[in-house]
Structure 1
Amino acid sequence: MTTNRPVALVTGASSGIGKAAALALVDAGFEVVGTSRRTSGEAHRDGVTFLDLDVASDTSVARAVDRVIEKFGRIDVLVNNAGIGSAGAGEERSLTQDQQLFDINVFGLIRMTKAVLPHMRAQGRGRIINISSVLGFVPAPYMAAYAASKHAVEGYSESMDHEVRQHGVRVLLVEPAVTRTAFEANSPQPATPLPVYEQQRQVFEGVMAAAMKDGDDPATVAKAIVAAATDPKPKLRYPAGPTAGRVSALRRLVPSRAFDRQIRKLNQLPA
């Protein structure tokens, strides 16, 4: 089977931002394949074809990309959305926890990119849209590993975009702020909680709960993803929503010492 419609592959599409993005791309005229680790085979829901995929597995990634090519004959857009969060102070998390996070958030994204690039280069066009975060360019106390992974995504994406642009392929970034999903609630707790961080960790959890309550709707991020997928002249970065836009501007314009003070104030850390 082949299709004349553009084909988008969205990882982590069973809920949250990934689900909203998959549905928005369907509305924008794409044939959409969504992936999840819990699909239990190939399925079709709400106009989206779902496939099993574990981005931490080379074999699973290769199998899923080959299946999309076999079924539709093309991949025009890859949305690297699959990811996990982190909770607790950096010292409290085990190295294994941090390695698992990077294997999904960073190396999973790299696996997917490597798998689709030969197809995109062969067809002379394609867009790889990597879901970063405002935490890809600002610090995040008590989420250090997650922020580090998104900083890595930013550097990888911008560098890769220079490499593949001459082949008709773009690598673009969508940068959400806090978004109302179950993402934070599903973040693994630190392996070795330490009393020295307990009080401040609880403060941070309260700050995050309040921010999540007032966070952006996943549809806001989906809108930015569709723009990245369809803009005739795409931008490297797409801040998703007004909060992300303000944070991006402040990071560029505010002196580093003042920005540092603001981060500590927002996170209720001692001055």
Structure 2
Amino acid sequence: MRDMESTGGRPVALITGASSGFGLLTAIALAQEGYHVIATMRDMGKQDKLLSMAGEKAVLDRIEVMEMDFTREEQVDLAIGETVGRWGRIDVLVNNAGYAVMGVVEEIPVKDWHAQFATNFFGTVAVTKAVLPHMRRQAQGKIINISSGAGIIGFSNTGPYSASKFAVEGFSEALRLELLAFNIAVVLVQPGTYNTGIAEKHDYHQAPDSPYAKMTDAFNRFNKKSEDNAPDPIHVARTIVKIVKARHPKLRYTCGSDAKLIAIMKRWLPWSLIEWMLRKILH
């Protein structure tokens, strides 16, 4: 098995969903910090943006694109095995890949709930399980799971997405406690709304003549306005770099003023007041 000399002394980071958004920016940011980055994506046809930016930032030699459909366990095992076989280690895992199923609970088919969890939750579990034996043997590592402000409070019209992120939260808490003895840190990043273009990937559901139409339309208008005015997602990538460099990172890092406000509301306000406020804003 190779050691860090195989990467020129550089530690190795593996990122899921690296073709755009937080994943792409994190791949660039970690490469700039000296990491050899394995940037995985389901569709290799979407690698051009990442490679173009890596060239502009002069880190192309530190980024390796690898195909991985994390909903297929055999492909996950193959990708992780190839990474460790070639480079001897994985020091950082960033579970970033995901999308959002949007709409009210009653109008979203069960199959779409399954698809949401297959990507956002079970994909995260599969990649983590494949990486863990190697990190344990190293007796060190960091696993960073990308959650969401919707993983703090479950908003109307985000039922499947919020549920999948709540699952990631619980999974990460349990995993962190299990891995403390092995010098492996598990960390949650909870971004609010950022200008990543993810809204174009949302899977929207609304029935014709829906009794929820007024509420859904109000939510969608609010959501679009938030996304149109959202801050630069580089802040999230820089937060991940901060976590990677920290000797003892916290369990949770909340990014963005909206997500921080949500966290404060959840911690300090009674649910009845939260309910009243969200009905005023989103309904």
Contact 1:55 1:104 in 2 (8 A): yes
Q: CA deviation at 1:192?
A: 4.7
Partner of 1:181: 196
Matches within 5 A, 1:117-196: 117-190=132-205, 192-193=207-208, 195-196=210-211
Moved more, 211-220 or 190-199: 190-199
Q: Is the 8 A contact 1:81 1:130 kept in 2?
A: yes
Report the CA distance shift for 1:195/1:127 in structure 2 as closer, same or farther (over 3 A).
Answer: same
Identity %: 35
1:32–1:193 Cα change, 3 Å: farther
SS across alignment from 2:211? helix
Equivalent pairs, count: 268
Find out whether 1:23 has 2:38 as its counterpart: no
Runs of 5+ in structure 2 lacking a partner? 55-59
Give secondary structure in 1 for the equivalent of 2:94. Answer: strand
Which segment drifts farther, 46-55 or 74-83? 46-55
Structure 1 pair 207–163 and aligned structure 2 pair: CA distance change class (3 A)? same
Report the Cα distance in structure 1 between the residues aligned to 2:209 and 2:96, rounded to whole angstroms.
32
**Counterpart Cα distance in 2 of 1:83 and 1:97:** 14
Residue correspondence of structure 1 range 246-257 to structure 2 within 5 A: 246-257=261-272
Contact 1:25 1:226 in 2 (8 A): yes
1:88-99 correspondence runs (5 A): 88-99=103-114
CA distance in 2, matches of 1:194, 1:108: 35
Q: Aligned pair in 2 of structure 1 residues 191, 250: CA closer, same or farther (>3 Å)?
A: closer
Q: Aligned residue for 1:234?
A: 249
Distance (Å, rounded) in 1 between the aligned partners of 2:167 and 2:182? 23
1:56 aligns with 2:61: no
CA–CA separation in structure 2 for the residues paired with 1:224 and 1:265: 32
CA separation in 1, counterparts of 2:255 and 2:35?
21
Q: CA RMSD in A?
A: 1.8
Q: 1:11 aligns with which of 16, 23, 28?
A: 16
SS at match of 1:49: strand
User: So what's the TM-score if we normalise by structure 1?
Assistant: 0.94
Q: 1:39 to 1:149 in 2, by over 3 A?
A: same
Task: Report whether the alignment pairs 1:202 with 2:207.
Answer: no
Q: Give the conservation status (yes or no) of the 8 Å contact 1:16–1:181.
A: yes
Q: CA deviation at 1:262?
A: 1.5
Give the superposition deviation at 1:246: 2.8
**Structure 1 residues not aligned, in runs of 5+:** none
Determine the C-alpha separation between the residues in 2 that align with 1:98 and 1:237. Answer: 26
Offset at 1:190? 2.0
Which of 36, 42, 64 aligns to 2:41? It is 36
Q: Map Cα deviations across residues 32-67 of structure 1 (whole Å, 9 max, x no partner).
A: 111111116999931321100111000111111111
Which has the higher mean CA deviation after the structures are superposed, 178-187 or 122-131? 178-187
Q: Report the Cα distance in structure 1 between the residues aligned to 2:28 and 2:91, rounded to whole angstroms.
A: 16
**Please, what TM-score do these two structures have when normalized by structure 2?**
0.90
**Aligned counterparts of 2:156 and 2:169: Cα–Cα separation in 1:** 19
